Amino acid sequence: MAGAIIENLSGRKLGILIVFLMLCQVVCFLVGALIAPAPSSAMSVLGTKCIDKKYSKDKWYYPRGEKRCRSISSLDEPVVEQDNIEANDIIFAFQIPSPKDNFALDYSRWQQNLLSVMHLDIYYDDDAKFDPNAVMTIEARLGYRNKGDPDTKWTEYASSVEERTLDCYIEPRHMRAEYIYNCSSVPMFELGSLHHDFYLLNIRLPMDTAKESWGFIHQNGGFTKVWVSLKTIFFPTMVAIMAWFWRRISLLTRPPALLEYMLMVLGAALTFLNCPLEYLTLVYDCPWMTVVSDIRQGLFYASLLSFWLIFTGEHLMDDIERNRIRVYWRHLSAVLGGCLCLFIFDMCERGVQLRNPFYSIWVFINISSKRQSLPAMSSARRLHYEGIIYRFKVLMLATLLCAAMTVIGFILGQVSEGQWSWDDNIKLEYTSAFFTGVYGMWNIYTFALICLYAPSHKRWPKDQDTQSSTGEEIEFSRLATEPSEMSSITAFAKKTAAD
């Protein structure tokens, strides 16, 4: 009898494989913990108040370098009254990255992306009525410059007039001129590619603002190098294991089973996720890279959820005829519909959402009930199926662990966005180790599934004794003996359900 490799693998070989995969998992965690820095860094930049009574949209205002703008440090300076400076005459300039220890810094293309949030300090004024929830109109202009360019050469990257709703409040006892409104940070823009060395942001606001600071969050180049290195290793590995798996399938006389198709879909989605497209950003400006990354991760999540659903359904061990995709159309429609909604939300809100059901936990209950029929079997068959169930439970434990870590990884990714809000003091030094560990776990888990569920060329001998100790004959006619059979554990379960 021939089945999947997991059903014919000896305990010693299975133990060696588990130890090897666990070592690979530990290495992935250690790479993130010992080599990679934190995934992202935040930098707060205080805006320079450039003044110009003859403001021009074609003129750049920058605080450092030759021909820098005329600026003031406070709205209380005498020049404000002398020149009758109004809010529309003030341009807030942010030249990034800021120098450190009198050393000019520049962005690296390894840093991949840049997020920006704005924080306003607005003084309370008895003479001016301010709506704490007002809609603020922002005239923004973003430019860039590269090394070797003169200080005056700034090229426009994007410009827009945006509206943002403020969320400010002030306690009644603080409604005096020297107090400032407590305003929430306002997200502004996101760059999916840091292709240039320096960036300049010019902002005009239609109100008197005491101080405006911006937070710029970028991915660390060191983390990107480690992340892309892992992808470079995992990508050819998954391509090779998928080619090996499909070759073994093609040698059989039967068409591929549904579970085998789903393994190929899962492997293809993970291979697409592993493809190190980030190398393109080192040569080309790829502002769409963030969207592509979200799509790749979304496809993998959808494939993983669909695989878990079908994987569990194929091993429910009931008398329902399965191995057909239409049997799962309701469940898959729910998964795909949910993923589609999340994709639309992602395209609109730039967030990633995940709903990960632990549907596979019910398989343990079903297996335990089926195990009660084992004592009625002959010795050879009982030992064979006990070995299969043991291996299957080990695999289900890995499935639950993978599901739990995936959910935790998603939540951690969402929590890390709390850095956008400067009211939160979040320290995530362990994030790199967790992210690289979960990413490695996805590859190791898929690698193990493809290896263990590949068709085996081994056969186990038939047992001629088909009578139990009670003299009752056990019929196994539904357990096929040809290489074209389904998984033995599934066939056995379906037979016991029918009995």
Region(s) of the chain under CATH 2.60.120? 41-218
What residue has token string 């299975």? 14
Q: Does domain 41-218 have CATH number 2.60.120?
A: yes
CATH T-level topology, domain 5-39+222-498:
Rhopdopsin 7-helix transmembrane proteins (1.20.1070)
Per-residue pLDDT in tens (0 to 9) along the chain, 499 residues: 456 676 666 778 778 888 888 888 888 888 887 887 877 777 788 888 888 888 888 889 888 888 888 888 777 777 777 777 777 788 888 888 888 877 888 888 888 888 787 777 777 777 666 666 777 788 888 899 998 888 888 988 888 777 777 778 777 777 777 777 777 777 777 777 888 889 998 888 765 454 556 677 777 888 888 889 989 999 999 999 889 888 888 887 778 888 888 888 888 999 999 999 989 888 888 877 877 887 888 888 888 878 877 777 766 545 555 666 677 777 677 767 766 766 665 655 444 333 322 223 333 333 343 444 444 444 444 444 444 444 455 555 555 555 565 555 555 554 444 444 344 444 445 677 777 877 788 788 787 777 777 765 555 455 444 444 444 443 333 333 343 344 444 444 444 444 4
**For position 362, what pLDDT does the model report?**
32
**For position 482, what pLDDT does the model report?**
40
**For position 377, what pLDDT does the model report?**
46
Region(s) of the chain under CATH 1.20.1070? 5-39+222-498
